[in-house]
Amino acid sequence: QKEVEQDPGPLSVPEGAIVSLNCTYSNSAFQYFMWYRQYSRKGPELLMYTYSSGNKEDGRFTAQVDKSSKYISLFIRDSQPSDSATYLCAIFRVEYGNKLVFGAGTILRVKS
Amino acid sequence: EAGVAQSPRYKIIEKRQSVAFWCNPISGHATLYWYQQILGQGPKLLIQFQNNGVVDDSQLPKDRFSAERLKGVDSTLKIQPAKLEDSAVYLCASSPLDRSYEQYFGPGTRLTVT
């Protein structure tokens, strides 16, 4: 079983839709929960991160963590064609050394 | 604030040849990472430096990969000899010493081994 599971998509939505991207993880030692955006042929860009269960909002983006279910989500409101990218969840593991473990990424396409 | 710089951006070599990648982290970031990202996968950590010391190289194939971080700033990653399965994007990232979870990535070097 992979430590972090993420549906690879692709996920295709019309402009203006609400997008939901999700990951599950297996290790309760994970403490920080990150979302990265990666455009084609670019490096991952840190969008936002959170530490505790609950919601964190930043503009059109909301990160949600449910530690009891080991489930994290990223919601994008009013999606734009410029949001088309691969979204990577990454979880920071403290046990057995500080390490960032990535999901495989979900490809998102927002159609205008 | 300047981001993480990497060069070259692209490299094509034949198998059994050697190649080197260079990284300059964000100024003031003590921790530097090299990741390998194979197409369709998330980045996988190869090696982590704190200042000029190695913290974790457990996933580095040491028979062919080597890395160094001179004077705790720039870093180079070398592959010798390259194999077909080394074709990937090699990403460098850096983070502040007290926030290792907050990692910032460079644009990557796309390596193709033929």
Domain with A80 in it: what CATH number?
A: 2.60.40.10
A11 band by pLDDT with thresholds 50, 70 and 90? very high
- Min Cα distance A105 → chain B (Å) is 6
Q: How far is CA A88 from CA A23, A36, B95, in A?
A: 9, 5, 18
Q: What are phi and psi of A83, to 5 degrees?
A: -80, -10
**Parent domain of A11:** 4-111
Q: Which member of A34, A41, A45 has the closest CB to residue B101? A: A34
| B42 contacts in chain A (CB < 8 Å) | 4, 6, 88, 90, 102-105
- Location of structure tokens 């979880």: A91
> A35-67, pLDDT tens digit by residue?
999 999 999 999 999 988 889 999 999 999 999
CA dist B29 and B105 (Å) reads 12
pLDDT digits (tens, 9 = 90+) for B49-72: 998 899 999 999 999 999 999 888
pLDDT (tens digit per residue) in A52-110: 888 999 999 999 999 999 999 999 999 999 999 999 999 998 766 678 999 999 999 99
Q: What is the mean pLDDT of chain B?
A: 95
Which chain B residues touch A102 with a CB distance below 8 Å? 42-44
Q: What is the pLDDT of residue A96?
A: 64
Which residue in the set B56, B102, B103 is minimally distant from A97, CB to CB?
B56
Task: Determine how many CB atoms are found less than 10 A away from the CB of residue B44.
Answer: 14
Q: Taking 80 as the threshold, does the pLDDT of residue B85 lie above it?
A: yes
Domain residue extents for chain B: 1-8+21-95
Name the residue facing A44 among B41, B55, B105 (closest C-beta). Answer: B105
- In chain B, residues with a C-beta closer than 8 Å to the C-beta of A6 are 42
Size of interface A-B (CB pairs under 8 A): 52
CA angle B45, B41, B89 (to 5 degrees): 65
Q: A44 vs B91: CB contact, 8 Å cut-off?
A: yes
A43:B105 CB<8 A? yes
> Which pLDDT band, with edges at 50, 70 and 90, does B83 fall under?
very high
| A51, amino acid identity | Y
Using CB atoms and an 8 Å cut-off, which of residues 28-87 of chain B contact chain A?
A: 40-45, 55-56
CA distance B71 to chain A (A): 23
CATH ID of B1-8+21-95, from 3.20.20.70, 2.60.40.10, 2.40.50.110, 1.25.40.10 = 2.60.40.10
Give CA–CA dist B32/A55, Å, rounded: 30
The separation between CA A52 and the C-alpha centre of its own chain, rounded to angstroms, equals 15
pLDDT above 70 (res B45): yes
pLDDT for B20-44, tens place per residue? Answer: 999 999 999 999 999 999 999 999 9
Q: What's the Cα-to-Cα distance from B27 to each of B15, B30, B74, rounded to whole Å? A: 35, 9, 10
Cβ-defined contact of B42 to A99 (cutoff 8 Å) = no
| Confidence label for A1 from pLDDT (cuts 50, 70 and 90) | confident
For chain A, the domain total comes to 1
Please give the Cα distance from A29 to A95 (Å, whole number).
6
Binned at pLDDT 50, 70 and 90, residue A27 comes out as: confident
B75 min Cα distance to partner chain A (Å): 17
